[in-house]
A and B are shown apart, each in its own frame.
Chain A
Amino acid sequence: MINYLRGFTVLLLLVLGSAVAQEKNIVVTSGSDRAIPIAVVPFGWQGGSVLPEDMAEIIGNDMRNSGIFEPIPRQNMISMPARPSEVIFRDWKALGAQYLLVGDIQPSGGRLQVQFAVFNVTTEQQVMTGSVGGTPDQLRDMAHYISDQSFEKLTGIKGAFSTRLLYVTAERMNAANTRYTLQRSDYDGARAVTLLQSREPILSPRYSPDGRRIAYVSFEQKRPRIFMQHIDTGRREQITNYEGLNGAPAFSPDGNRLAFVLSKDGNPEIYVMDLGSRQLQRLTNHYAIDTEPFWGADGQTIYFTSDRAGKPQIYKQRLGSNNAERVTFVGNYNANPKLSADEKTLVMIHRQDGYTNFKVAAQDLQRGNLRLLSDTSLDESPTVAPNGTMLIYATRQQGRGVLMLVSINGRVRLPLPTAQGEVREPSWSPYLN
Chain B
Amino acid sequence: MQRAERSSSQSYFWPTVFAVGLHVIIFGMLFVSFAMTPDLPPSKPIVQATLYQLKSQSQATTQTNQKLAGEAQKTAAKQYEAEQLEQRKVEQQKQAAAKAAEQKKVEDARKAEAAKAEAAKKSAEVKKAEEAKAAEQKKQAEIAKKKAADEAAKKKAAEEAAKKKAAEEAQKKTAAEAAKKQAAAEEAKKKAAEEARKKTAAEAARKSAEDKKAQALAELLADDTQRQQAMADTQGDQVAGDFDDLIRMRAAQGWTRPPSARNNMSVSLRVNMLPDGTITAVSVSRSSGDAPFDSSAVAAVKNIGRLTEMQGLSAQEFQPYRSFTMTFTPEDLAL
Contact = CB atoms under 8 A, between A and B. Distances in A.
Interface of A: 2, 5-6, 9, 12-13, 16, 23-32, 34-36, 67-68, 98, 120, 122-123, 154-157, 340, 342, 344-345, 362, 364, 366-367, 369, 371, 388-389, 408-410
Contacts of A36: 254, 256
B295 A155 contact: yes
Nearest to B251: A28
B335 A362 contact: yes
Contacts of A31: 252, 255-257, 300, 330, 332
B321 interface: yes
Specify which of A2, A122, A345 lies most central, judged by the most chain B CB atoms within 10 Å of its CB.
A122
B33 to A, nearest CB: 16
A67 B335 CA distance: 15
28 contacts: A6-B14, A12-B25, A13-B21, A16-B24, A23-B325, A25-B268, A25-B324, A26-B251, A26-B325, A26-B326, A27-B326, A27-B329, A28-B252, A28-B297, A30-B69, A30-B332, A31-B332, A32-B256, A68-B256, A154-B299, A155-B295, A156-B293, A156-B294, A157-B258, A344-B260, A366-B262, A367-B263, A408-B259
Interface string B222-262: 00000000000000000010001001100111111111101
Given A9-B17, A122-B303, A34 B256 contact: yes
A154 B299 CA distance: 8
B276 interface: no
B302 A388 contact: no
Contacts of B257: 31
B313 to A, nearest CB: 13
B302 A24 contact: no
Nearest to B321: A24
Given A23-B323, A26-B247, A366-B262, 7 more contacts: A24-B325, A25-B325, A27-B248, A28-B297, A29-B252, A156-B292, A156-B294
B328 interface: yes
A47 B66 CA distance: 52
B305 interface: yes
Contact of A30 (B244, B331, B334): B331
Which of A32, A344, A408 has the most chain B CB atoms inside 10 A of its CB?
Answer: A32
Contacts of A155: 258, 292, 295-296, 299
Interface of B: 14, 17-18, 21, 24-25, 28, 66, 69-70, 73, 240, 244, 247-248, 251-260, 262-263, 268, 290-297, 299-300, 302-305, 320-321, 323-332, 334-335
Nearest to B246: A26
A156 B335 CA distance: 20
A98 B324 contact: no
B106 to A, nearest CB: 42
Most buried by A among B73, B256, B294: B256
Nearest to A342: B260
A123 B304 CA distance: 8
Contacts of A29: 70, 252, 329-332
B41 to A, nearest CB: 28
A28 B299 contact: no
B28 to A, nearest CB: 7
A371 B248 contact: no
A255 to B, nearest CB: 25
A1 B300 CA distance: 55
A386 to B, nearest CB: 12
B335 A364 contact: yes
Nearest to A20: B28
Nearest to B329: A29
Q: 4 closest A-B pairs (Cβ-Cβ)?
A: A156-B295, A31-B255, A24-B324, A122-B305
Contacts of A30: 66, 69-70, 73, 252, 255, 330-332
Contacts of A123: 302-303, 305
A122 B300 CA distance: 11
A32 B252 contact: yes
Nearest to A341: B260
Contacts of A2: 14
Interface centre among B292, B321, B330, by most chain A C-beta atoms within 10 angstroms, is: B292
A345 B335 contact: yes
B292 A5 contact: no
B119 to A, nearest CB: 43
Contacts of B247: 26
Contacts of A67: 259
B27 to A, nearest CB: 11
B302 A389 contact: no
Contacts of B334: 371, 410
Contacts of A6: 14
A12 B21 contact: yes
A120 B325 contact: no
A93 to B, nearest CB: 9
Contact of B324 (A23, A157, A410): A23
Nearest to A6: B14
Contacts of A156: 258, 291-296
A35 to B, nearest CB: 7
Given A31-B252, A156-B291, A340-B259, A26 B244 contact: yes
B285 to A, nearest CB: 10
A196 B224 CA distance: 77
Contacts of A34: 256
